[in-house]
Structure 1
């Protein structure tokens, strides 16, 4: 097990496997680097060096009380990448991790990042407003915060259902997959779980997307019940200079099953271009 200490004293757990061009993976909320286990194997088998970390407050990283905002997440990622002296990097982020890698690439990663990939990512901004009517209402986000405080264990159980689309007809989501979501959720510190809601929903990353000057692949399921595609991928594609958008029919927010198989191959194909 490897740990790195950030400039503000947070201990960040990470795994570093394989050799070759580096791929850096950033997980979604409330998960950990364990969410990327399949990708770690597939990408290392394909000849890449793969690094995945647990965001501050999540997984095996220290349960710090503060710094649960998109800029601090990206700065921590930058410090880890500098610690490992990585160059020509492909950064990949899911959900909140998509916001993290977009901010990293735009504000911290110039000269190090070769390509950016996001899946079900939160940029440009998730919160519903007059200028973003497709977004998520603040009342729904407040409900998330209330449930995290009230009974987070039960909430993770319930959230796993729409996360993986298990409430849709014909979706064979295993109990094991939902239980693993619960397991990873229970490892996140309460402060991080609560504060990240504001970070992933209210951070406006419009300018970050405009600043990305490397090729970007944007993936999103059209059955995503967590991050509305109309407020996210369909707007992001209009802001990035050199981007490709692929919409996966019937795919959920969570990456699993046939969606995972197709997405992983698409990522490998995109890297090789």
Structure 2
């Protein structure tokens, strides 16, 4: 909506985590006439929840556990989440208390109701159709998801569908943009300048 109201053209859309799903949803619904390039960073699966149609998803009990932890002690829930979000729970990881404190601080400023609703949104929103609508013609081998130890940036020129690069970042961190900013910035700036 804002893209048409402002008459923006040649937009470069970058989405992290569920924001990557929103980029895919925008392109799926509105097409690519105004989008020059799209980047999906550390994207969630098209559907996180395990269902009859999505056997690789996570069981609802896992998300119920997040809800229970959030309800019981929201502050501690965000401190715990920060450790895994940045991959600091992995062997050999260099921990940054500043990154943990920053995520916790911004999380504690959020709306309790909105954050609780976000658990349902990121676990149960299905982006499958959006991805199929716009990526069906791309080589499936180039659309692969990195394994859980790796995280990737997907770079695409959506109008042509000719290019879909997967840059795997070996930090094992969903918050790779904070843990490895130089590497992520180099990849992004290189793609934008092309």
Question: Is the shorter-chain TM-score for this pair beyond 0.5, marking a shared fold?
Answer: yes
Distance, in Å, in 1 between the alignment partners of 2:90 and 2:102 is 20
Change (3 A) 1:125 1:252: same
For residue 199 of structure 1, the aligned residue among 121, 124, 135 is 121
Moved over 6 A (4+): 215-219
Change (3 A) 1:256 1:89: closer
Change (3 A) 1:258 1:150: closer
Distance, in Å, in 2 between the alignment partners of 1:154 and 1:166 is 16
- Quote the residue 1:223 is aligned against: 149
Change (3 A) 1:259 1:128: farther
- Quote the residue 2:41 is aligned against: 119
Change (3 A) 1:267 1:158: same
- Quote the residue 1:253 is aligned against: 174
For residue 144 of structure 1, the aligned residue among 66, 74, 78 is 66
Alpha-carbon RMSD across the aligned residues, in angstroms, is 3.1
Helix, strand or coil at the partner of 2:56: coil
Normalising by structure 2, report the TM-score. 0.80
- Quote the residue 2:187 is aligned against: 266
For residue 108 of structure 1, the aligned residue among 30, 34, 41 is 30
Deviation (angstroms), 1:128: 2.0
- Quote the residue 1:172 is aligned against: 94
- RCO comparison, higher one (Cα < 8 Å, 6+): 2
Helix, strand or coil at the partner of 2:176: coil
Distance, in Å, in 2 between the alignment partners of 1:261 and 1:134 is 33
Could you tell me which runs of 5 or more consecutive residues in structure 1 were left unpaired when the two chains were aligned: 1-77, 235-240
Q: Which has the higher helix share?
A: 2
Could you tell me which runs of 5 or more consecutive residues in structure 2 were left unpaired when the two chains were aligned: 155-160
Residues 200-219 of structure 1: CA deviation (Å, up to 9, x unaligned): 12122122112337x99998
Residues 173-228 of structure 1: CA deviation (Å, up to 9, x unaligned): 21111000001111221121111112112122122112337x9999867426xxxx
